[in-house]
Each structure stands twice: as structure tokens, then as C-alpha cells.
A and B are shown apart, each in its own frame.
Chain A
Amino acid sequence: MKYFNPRTVLLAAVCLLNLSAFAQKGETVKIAWIDPLTGLMAPVGSNGLKSFKFVAEEFNKSNVAGVKFEVIGMDNKLSPAESVNDVTASVDQGIHYVVQGNGSAVAGAIIESVNKNNERNPGKEVLFLNYAAVDPDFTNSKCSYWHFRFDADTSMKIEALTTFMKDQKDIKKVFLLNQDYSHGHQVAKYAKDNLAIKRPDIQIVGEDYHPLAKVRDFTPYIAKIKASGADSVITGNWGSDLALLIKAANEGGFTGKFYTYYVSTTGTPTAIGTSGEGKIFQVSNGHYNMGGKMQSMMAEYKKRSGDDLYIPAIAHIFNALTLAMSKAQSTNPVKVAAQLHGLHFDSVNGALEMRRLDHQLQQPLYITVWQKADKKSPYSPENTGMTLAVVKSFESYVSSTPTTCDMKTP
């Protein structure tokens, strides 16, 4: 009878509960990183993988779920078919979390593959954590319960950008120059729609597209922009397309402003150099002088690798995952997904929400300008002596955009 002493039973129950409360503690969670390590976007991908491994190490030191992360890099060579292979390989290796960000075509293929896998192979579910593919479709027409986006999509970025441009009285004529594929077309479309509502007096004096990563000489485009009388250019260009455009603008005597997305991508600061000082603006979910945990991680990363950590979304992913895992008390993807669905969590740029409706993270955005590094904004990427200094920061609600997502929860 003394074994059923209520105090003992209570004590035993409390002990058991405590044990199960940390059922996931000490587990190793494998994350498959699927992005290019060779080819056109190799430097971006390489730096991205290094960043992921670094941040994983930081979170392994201590995190609220008590789990350990292991990041496994898979080179998809920027090919959607290859990425589908990699997802299959991950499932075979028992990996339940896949991250990707470079290339919306790849992201689309991964979403389809993950959907089909989770439907056809119960027990082997995979979650897709998207850190940089900004096609709005993934949280609208192609939304999926198993996909979570941690970067702001194009509609949100344009929303923030045009809110900033609304108050700039010197902007009268805008030229839209973009890469001729889905991303470029979307940037142009959202820019036109947003400006029409917020500043109907602004004239769109030109809308052009050029092929992706093929143009070396942008002088004809600059000549056209000048001839149109534009004082501002909105462009979603990245990589060499952005760098060469800025160079050509410098040479061609275009003195207007550039409103861009991707100045901070690996390689672009070096290519732009000191040209375009004070004239290039970027809208992004981070910048080089955020302070706090992000700043210390950036400093440490620079010291150890000589490269720049510029993707806050990586920190968002780990913050969200650890919180979700500790709430679900498990690393099982289905349970974690249920927690991520609508999760409120803190990360390097404030209090964030993974919106339940469409799995689009709601977060603050920043408008920054390319200028010389100074005391207020000292961090300089790629030893250029320049930095992106904050001109305006927007709360989450500013960039929040509606969704048409009709999510099917399992």
C-alpha cells in the first residue's frame, strides 16, 4: 500500500511529466540545405551554406529546445529537377527539414515535390523552410501547409518601398528595368500597382526587361533611361546584372536614384564599389548595422570566414524551429508544423509572426542607402569601405499584404 502513497504517486507523475516535457532534448535535427554550390550563383550559395552552418553552431551552444542541429549541404546546381532528386535523397536519409532560397523555379519544384511526398509517404514528412525565394505565388496560389517563408515576398518589399517613395517629393518619373523572367515581371507589376495607388502623380516613363545574366553592356539601357527623363529606377536585378547596371549608370552620366532589392548579395558590394554613393537604396529584412545578436554573429562570422553574414532569415528559421520544437516537445515534422502554423516568436529584428493564413512571416523591413561607412554605421561588407545605412525602418504591419491562399491543412 505504501507504493500507492499519493505523495509518491504525485512525485512520480511530476518526474515523468518532466521527462516527457523534454522528449526532444539532446536529439540531433538534420537540415538539408539545397542550393547551388557550382555555377552562376556559386559564391552566393557557398556563403549561404557557410552562414547556415555557422548559425547552427551558435544555436547548438544553447537553445530553448535543447536540440542539436546538423546542416547538410546539397548542391542542386540551380536545377529544379536536381532539387527534386535532393529532396528524395533527404527523405531516404531520414532528414525532415529542407531549406532553400536561391531561385523561385527551384522553390516551386521543391514545394510540389514536398507536397507529393507528404501525401504519398506518410511517416516520412518533410517541411520546406524557404529563406529567400520571394515569388508571391508561394504564399498565394501555390501555398502549401508544408511550406514556410521566412523572407518578405516581392509584394511586401514593394509595399514597404513604395511607402517610402510616397514621401520622397523629388521622385517624379520612374523607370522600371528588370530581368526578363518571373521575378522581374513581378517587381514591375507590383511597383506599378502600388505607385498608382500611393502616388498617382508619379509617371512611369519606361518599363523594360533584359535577359538574365547575359547583358554585359548596359550603356544602351542607361541611354534609354536618360532619354526618358526618369529620376528614379526601380529594379529587382541581382548579381552581375545589378553591378553592371550601376557601373553603366556611373559612366553614362545617369544621376538618378536606384531602388533595389539585392545590393547585399555576395559579390555585388565589391562590384559596385564606391560608385553610386548615396544613390542606391535597398529594401530588405535586414542591414549591416542591426546591433544585438545579429551584429555579434556578423562580427564573429567575418572573423572566422572573412565573408559577410547578411541573411537574417537564417536566424529567423532557427529561432522559430527551436521555439516550435520546445512547444511541440518533439522534433517530429508534423507536430512542429502544427506549432509553426501561426507561431509568434522573437528574432534579430523584433517580434515576428508566421502568419497562419499563408505561412508568410510578418516582419519589420528596412530601407537603406549605399554610403561610406561611418561611426553610426561602421560595418563594411567585403572590405569596400562602404555600407548600407538605415534611412527608414517599417514595422511589420506596414509591409503586410493580403493573401489569396486557400491552405489545406491536413
Chain B
Amino acid sequence: MEFFVINVLNGLSFGLLLFMLSAGLTLIFSMMGVLNFAHASFYMLGAYFGYVVNHVLGFWLALLLAPLLCGLLGALFERWSLRRVYAGGHVPELLLTFGLSYLVLEGVQIVWGRSVVAFTLPESLKGPVVTLVSEPNHHLSVFGRWQDPALWQALCDSSRQSAEALSQCSPFPMNRLFIMLCALMMMALLWGVLNFTRLGLIIKAALTQPQMVEALGHDVPSVFMLVFGLGTALAGLAGVIGGSTFITEPAMAASVGSVTFVVVVVGGMGSLVGAFLASILIGMIQTFAVAIDTTLVKILLQLHIQLGDSWLHNPVLNLTLTQIAPILPYLLLVLVLIFKPNGLLGKKP
């Protein structure tokens, strides 16, 4: 029971981290039609800036300053480079961001070296926030961080228990809860700004009718710059959190880059809610695929389908779900694009 709960929580937190990453990308794409190939690079920059600020001013200021720095860089990039290639259409825009990703990667390596840097979470975010204990009588108890640890230590110490009376203890880490809270707060803030402020109104109007908005006297190029900066700032925020929770190294951009695109496309290009749903879906799928131990052969056998010998030993059919877990997002992408070309919640252009 506790296994299921902990996996749901893990899936949610991973999905929300993905959402933090892809929200910025969706925003930029829906506003400007530019698919920012360098989005994962800003994620990486956020982590490295966070590392530097953390060293000097502490984690919480890093959480504030690093995204701002990323946003600033993004806005500058838009102003000086991206603006020049709008006239050329979407291909040069994509290629420019593609080139930017190479430059950021090399730049990061020049400044901070090729190896891992030690960017860790502060003490207040370490350790579990709740510990789920599943006792042998199937009773599930939840112990909070604020309670006396002695309450569950005895239950969790496997050396003091017999094999039959073993309880399963699963701590849910504080940093995962932090990720979830940050993501939800960010989403609320974004939704609030877009729907309830004047700036949000202008941004939404500039999406569909940029010329008209310009005719009304608004500085549309500045709005675009602001939106791009906002998108990259969101990536930077995800970077600070991701870099400290996982690992900060030059390869981190490449590791999240493609999944982010999958989320944006599956959710529907340009739909924030779609990106939210898609990221939760992918987070859950990946987590549970790892957790469930089964192969196609086992499933077929359970369905009482008779299999010939060569089928039983076919290496493809004997791949475990855990092994193919990493390619499930891409399979999902291909399937969604075949049946729902605009993504789950995308709008027809």
C-alpha cells in the first residue's frame, strides 16, 4: 500500500518538475511561435547561477536571483539576436536557438569546468517531510517531520525485527514536497498574471493580434522581450531546484532537453494546461513503469494466451517495463501525434 502511495507522490513531484521546465517553453512558443531549443540550456544556467549565489548568499536568495539572471540573459538574447531573424521565418529562429545551446554549453564549461559542481540543498530541505510506514497488518501510518523520530525508528530499524514482522518504511523527501509547492505556486502566479493583470491582457492580445496591439500604442517588441525573459526565468527556477536536488554538470541540459519537448508537444503546442496535464501524465508513467515488474510475455501468459517456444524466449517480448520506461514518453509522443496531431489540448492554428 505504502509502495503505491510513495510512487504516486514520486510521480507527481517528477511531473511537476517537468511542468516547471516546460511551462516556460510553452509560454514562449504560444506567445512568439519560437520553439526555444536552448530552453534546457537556460535550465542549466539557472543551476550554475544558483550554485554561485548559493555559495555567496545562501539558497533562498539563489532561488530568487538565479531565475532573474536567466530571465535577463534571455531578454538580452531576444533583443540582440532573435529579433534579427524573425523575418526569416521559423527555421532560422529554431537554428539560432540551436546554436545558442552549443554556445551556452561551451560557456558553462569554460567558467565552471567540465566536471560536477557541488550544489546541494540547504539543511532545512534535507531529510523526509513525512515517513510512510506500512506495518505487517497492512496498517498505514504517516509520521510527520515535526514528530519525535523515535515514534517510527523502532518500526523502521530492520535489524531489530524478524523477517515476518518487517514493516516497510518509505520517507517522502522534503525536497520533493518543495518541488511540488514551487511548481504549484509558479502555476498559480502565471495564471494570475495572465488572467488578472493588465500586462497579462496585453500579452494575450499580442499573441493573436500583434499588429493591432501595436497600433493601439503598446510596445509589442518589448512585450515579446519580456515574455521571452519570463520563459527563460522559469527555466532558471527549475534549474536551481533541479540542480540542487539532482546533479549540476554540463550534461544536465541534454538529459532533460528532449523530455521537455515531448511534454510541450503532447500537451498541445501553446496550451499551459495541456503542458500541466502532459507533464503529470509523463511523470506518472515513468515512475510506475519502473515500479511495475512485468514483461509482455508475462502479460500474455496472464491472459492465458498460449505462446510458442520462440515467442517465450524472444528478447524483445521479454523486455521488462522498467527497461523500456525511458522510451515511453517518445512512444506517447508518436501515438499522440498520430491520433491527435495538435496534442491533447492544443488549439488548431
**A adjacent to B, CB under 8 Å:** yes
Q: How far is the CA of A40 from the CA of B120 in the complex (A)?
A: 21
Of the stretches A73-81, A210-218, A396-404, the one at the interface is A210-218
Q: Are B171 and A252 in contact (CB under 8 A)?
A: yes
- A residues near B (Cβ < 8 Å) are 40, 42-43, 46, 180, 206, 208-211, 213-217, 219-221, 223-224, 226-227, 229, 231, 240, 243-244, 247, 251-253, 255, 266-268, 270-271, 273
Contact flag A226-B115 (CB < 8 Å), given A208-B322, A220-B287:
no
What would 17 A/B residue contacts be, using CB atoms closer than 8 Å? A46-B114, A209-B320, A209-B322, A210-B325, A213-B251, A220-B286, A220-B290, A224-B293, A224-B322, A227-B168, A229-B166, A231-B158, A243-B247, A251-B128, A267-B116, A271-B118, A273-B120
B290 & A251 in contact (Cβ 8 Å cutoff)? no
Bound state CA distance, A231 and B161, in angstroms? 14
Q: Tell me if B173 and A252 are in contact (CB < 8 A).
A: yes
Question: Does B246 lie within 8 Å of A244, measured CB to CB?
Answer: yes
Query: A251-B171, A255-B158 are known contacts. Are A217 and B115 too (CB-CB below 8 A)?
Result: no
Contact between B290 and A224 (Cβ–Cβ < 8 Å)?
yes
A318 to B291, CA, bound (A): 48
Additional A-B contact list (9), CB under 8 Å, known A219-B287, A224-B322? A180-B323, A210-B323, A216-B255, A223-B6, A240-B116, A252-B171, A253-B131, A253-B156, A271-B118
**Least Cβ distance of A97 to chain B in Å?**
26
Q: Does B101 contact A (CB under 8 A)?
A: no
CB pair B323 A223 closer than 8 Å: no
In the assembled complex, the Cα of A33 lies from the Cα of B243 at a distance in Å of 33
Task: Tell whether, in the assembled complex, residue B326 and residue A217 are in contact, meaning their CB atoms are under 8 Å apart.
Answer: no
Point out which of A209, A220, A227, A273 has the most chain B C-beta atoms below 10 A from its C-beta. A220
Bound Cα distance A211, B176 (Å): 23
Which residue in B7, B115, B256, B293 is a CB contact (below 8 Å) of A223?
B7
Kindly state the separation between the CA atoms of A152 and B10 in the bound complex, as whole angstroms. 39
Q: Would A43 and B169 count as touching, CB distance under 8 A?
A: no
For residue B48, CB closer than 8 A to chain A, the reply is no
Contacts of B3 in A (CB 8 A): 223, 227
Q: Are A43 and B115 in contact (CB under 8 A)?
A: yes
Q: Which of B168-187 contact A (CB under 8 A)?
A: 168-171, 173, 175-176
Q: In the complex, A251 Cα to B178 Cα: how many Å?
A: 14
Answer yes or no: B224 CB below 8 A from chain A CBs. Answer: no
Most chain B CB within 10 A, of A223, A231, A267, is at A223
Which residues of the partner chain A approach B252 to less than 8 Å between Cβ atoms? 216
Known: A220-B291, A227-B168, A243-B116. A251 touches B173 (CB 8 A): yes
Contact yes or no, A251 B291, CB < 8 A = no
Question: CB < 8 Å: which of B128, B169, B326 contacts A211?
Answer: B326
* A214 close to B118 (CB less than 8 A): no
Query: 9 closest pairs, A vs B, by CB?
Result: A43-B115, A220-B290, A253-B171, A43-B114, A251-B173, A267-B115, A267-B116, A211-B326, A42-B114
In Å, the complex CA distance between A229 and B167 comes to: 10
Which A residue sits closest to B6, measured CB to CB? A223
A209 and B116 within 8 A (CB): no
A226 and B116 form a contact (CB under 8 A): no
Assembly CA distance A221 to B166 (angstroms)? 20
Find the A residue at minimum CB distance from B9: A219
Interface centre among B128, B246, B252 (most CB of A within 10 A): B246
Which B residues touch A266, using CB under 8 A?
115
Beta-carbon contacts under 8 Å, B128-168 to A? 128, 131, 156, 158, 166, 168
B113 touches A43 (CB 8 A): yes
- Report whether A253 and B170 are in contact in the complex, using a CB–CB cutoff of 8 Å: yes
Judging by beta carbons under 8 Å apart, are A244 and B247 in contact?
yes
Residues in B neighbouring A211, C-beta threshold 8 A: 326
The reply on B117 being an interface residue by CB < 8 A is yes
Assess whether B276 is interfacial by the CB under 8 Å rule.
Answer: no
Residues of A contacting B255 in the complex (Cβ-Cβ under 8 angstroms): 213-214, 216
Q: Does B59 sit at the interface, judged by CB under 8 A?
A: no
Please give, as numbers and ranges, the residues of chain A lying within 8 Å of B242 by CB-CB distance: 216
Complex: A221 Cα to B290 Cα, angstroms: 7
- The verdict on B49 contacting chain A, using a C-beta distance below 8 Å, is no
Complex CA gap A266/B288 in Å reads: 33
Chain B residues whose C-beta falls within 8 Å of the C-beta of A247 in the assembled complex? 246-247
Residue of A nearest to B106 (CB): A38
A215 to B14, CA, bound (A): 12
The reply to whether B10 and A219 contact each other, CB–CB distance below 8 Å, is yes
Determine the residue in chain A with the shortest Cβ distance to B173. Answer: A251
Question: Do B287 and A270 have beta carbons less than 8 Å apart?
Answer: no
Identity of the chain B residue whose Cβ is nearest the Cβ of A240 in the assembled complex: B247
**A40, A43, A210, A273: the one within 8 Å of B118 (CB):** A273
Q: Is B249 an interface residue (CB 8 A)?
A: yes
Q: A208-B320, A209-B322, A253-B128 are in contact. Are A216 and B246 (CB under 8 A)?
A: yes
The CA of A211 and the CA of B120, in the complex, are separated in Å by 25
Instruction: Report the bound CA distance from A217 to B17 in whole Å.
Output: 11
On chain A, the residues within 8 Å of B7 by CB distance are 220, 223
Q: Are B170's CB and A252's CB within 8 A? A: yes
Give the contacts of B210-238 with A (CB-CB under 8 A): none
Q: How far is the CA of A217 from the CA of B113 in the complex (A)?
A: 24
> In the docked arrangement, what's the CA distance between A226 and B167, Å?
11
Contacts of A209 in B (CB 8 A): 320, 322-323
Residues of B within 8 A of A243 (CB): 116, 247
Q: Is there contact, CB below 8 Å, between A251 and B175?
A: yes
In angstroms, Cα B291 to Cα A224, docked, is 6
Q: Which of B284-306 contact A (CB under 8 A)?
A: 286-288, 290-291, 293
Chain B nearest Cβ from A161, distance in angstroms:
23
Q: Chain B contacts of A255 at CB under 8 A?
A: 158
Of all chain A residues, the one with the shortest Cβ separation from B325 is A210
Near A by CB (< 8 A), chain B positions 85-143 give 109, 113-118, 120, 128, 131
A258 to B73, CA, bound (A): 42
Residue of A nearest to B128 (CB): A253
Q: Give the Cβ gap from A166 to chain B, nearest Cβ, in Å.
A: 21
Task: For residue A232, give the distance in angstroms from its CB to the closest CB of chain B.
Answer: 13
* A223-B251 contact, Cβ under 8 Å, with A42-B114, A43-B115, A46-B114: no
**Nearest-Cβ distance from residue A77 to partner chain B, whole angstroms:** 13
Determine the chain B residues whose CB is within 8 A of the CB of A220 once the complex forms.
7, 10-11, 286-288, 290-291
- In the bound complex, residues from chain B placing their C-beta under 8 Å from that of A268 are 116
In contact, B291 and A215 (Cβ under 8 angstroms): no
Task: Give a binary string over B304-325; 1 marks a CB under 8 Å from any A CB, 0 the rest.
Answer: 0000000000000000101101
CA–CA, A266 and B109, complex, Å: 15
Residue picked from A40, A206, A219, A240, most chain B C-beta under 10 Å = A219
Interface centre among A46, A247, A251 (most CB of B within 10 A): A251
**Most chain A beta carbons < 10 A, residue from B115, B166, B170, B291:** B115
Task: Decide: A210 near B247, CB < 8 A? Known: A217-B14, A253-B171.
Answer: no
Complex formed: what's the CA distance from A180 to B322 in Å? Answer: 10
The one of A40, A215, A219 in contact with B251, judged by C-beta atoms closer than 8 angstroms, is A40
